[in-house]
A and B are shown apart, each in its own frame.
Chain A
Amino acid sequence: MAQDIQAKVVEIIAEQAVLEPSDVSLDQSLEDLGIDSLGVVESIFAIEEAFDISVPFNANDPSDSDFDISSVAAIVKAVQGLVAEQKG
């Protein structure tokens, strides 16, 4: 389950960055991948749709949101937490 979530999140981010999933590494940030603020908002929407969850995220101050987007790994971990919390 955890691996499935990771694969899906990486796939969503890769699509946003116009890359192959194999070209996305977990330690990269969205900025490293060339994803701008609009791309971040679109990625989060795709994550919400894919997992049927609600992601707490305010684009005004991403660092202040409960949802950590500092790296791909952080996003995967946050989505795992939300899925467990909201779908468990």
Chain B
Amino acid sequence: MARVVITGQGTINALGKTVPETLEAFREGRCGIGPLDIRDVERLAIQIGGQVHDYDPNAQFNRQQIALYDKYTQFTLIAAQEAIAQAGLSFSGDLAARSGVVLGTAGGGMNTQDENYRAVYEEGKNRVHPFVVPKLMNNAAASHVSMQHNLKGPTFTVATACASSNHAMGQAFQMVRSGLAPVMITGGSESMLCFGGVKAWEGLRVMSKDACRPFSANRNGMVQGEGAAIFVFEEYEHAKARGAEILAEVVGFAMSSDAGDIVMPSKQGASRAMEGAIRDAGIAKMDVGYINAHGTGTAANDKTECAAVADVFGAHADRLMISSTKSMHGHAIGGTGAIELLACIMALKDGVVAPTINYDEPDPECALDVVPNEAREAKVEVALSNAFAFGGLNAVLALRAV
């Protein structure tokens, strides 16, 4: 099996419009969550989110492009441009024919749906823009990355709610590892911060009105975010031959399904996914120095996830670090795993572990080292990235320092 390395990364999210800006926010423990600036916000019970502010699509895209690109696609293309530029790759010939794109999103073009439903239902219009369908479809972002960068190999979108990005990156990893593709562009994107998107989440009554406080005893729910992160997964020999800078190696991936409840998480399902990723990576548990938690800040997730980590790692659970960067960028739903992978790569490459901010009070049910409030310098050999979705679908990636 081929080795798989990451040679490019890009992002736009509430913490920054590039990777360096985002990593700086991680290091400083900065919070990107604040008042939402969206239409009809006064009719929402939840009025905060990890929104990308001061964002002007006209600065990035022309009128024809904006007519076709929902915000989730725009975020994807901005992040993909940064990632592919860093990797220094251009795609032509056989490389283009065999390389592809696998992306995760839960809602796809949610803003497009929201705007157009509003037009026909609320405003009583009987006509919508001709590009509504190609703009809102869940594979639009993957297709536009493919078109913009001439990627002609396997290209599709994965939708597994909050685990979409991790499932997508797992597919990309397996494709490169198996020799199916020399390079895969992967990651995820979400832009659900519109009236309908937030209103739907409100209904579940798991949202916080004031802050995301993962693992803290006074946590009171999740906070939605938005954004994208995109990576270049490349076969190791291919990257080495062209002298590319290697950011980290992807060494393992596993998925599991709880087959239990549509919203409540399961300790066994989470444990099986972490165990599977460690086994797939062929590493020892004690090599894992950092876990980027799913860490949503809900009562249910955080205690279940901590119990699963304690079960999987035994005594080593007390030595490893586990943090939730959702406290800073919010829960970017189908894009969240990709944004969180940036924190894993920062830990491995730069030796800085991103903190869990807003940590006020210890919770005996989350008694692990959650890297409270301040980033920490540490040498990390292996990092895991957890994603546990509604529907009981779990996906865990394992990365190693190079």
Contacts and interface: CB of A to CB of B under 8 A. Distances in A.
Interface string B218-230: 0111000000000
Contact of B203 (A36, A45, A54, A58): A45
Contact of B204 (A36, A41, A54, A64): A41
Nearest to A40: B205
By CB atoms of chain B within 10 A, which of A41, A54, A59, A61 has the most?
A: A59
A59 B204 contact: yes
Interface in A31-73: 36-38, 41, 44-45, 54, 57-61, 64
A58 B298 CA distance: 10
Contact of A60 (B45, B221, B263, B264): B221
Contact of B299 (A36, A41, A60): A60
Interface residues of A, number: 13
Nearest to A55: B205
Contacts, number: 35
A61 to B, nearest CB: 6
Nearest to A64: B220
B202 to A, nearest CB: 11
Interface in B171-213: 203-206, 208
B262 interface: yes
B205 A57 contact: yes
Given A38-B262, A38-B263, A58 B221 contact: yes
27 contacts: A36-B261, A37-B264, A38-B261, A38-B262, A38-B264, A41-B203, A41-B204, A44-B205, A45-B203, A54-B45, A57-B205, A58-B205, A58-B220, A59-B204, A59-B206, A59-B299, A60-B206, A60-B208, A60-B219, A60-B220, A60-B221, A60-B298, A60-B299, A60-B300, A61-B220, A61-B299, A64-B220
Interface of A: 36-38, 41, 44-45, 54, 57-61, 64
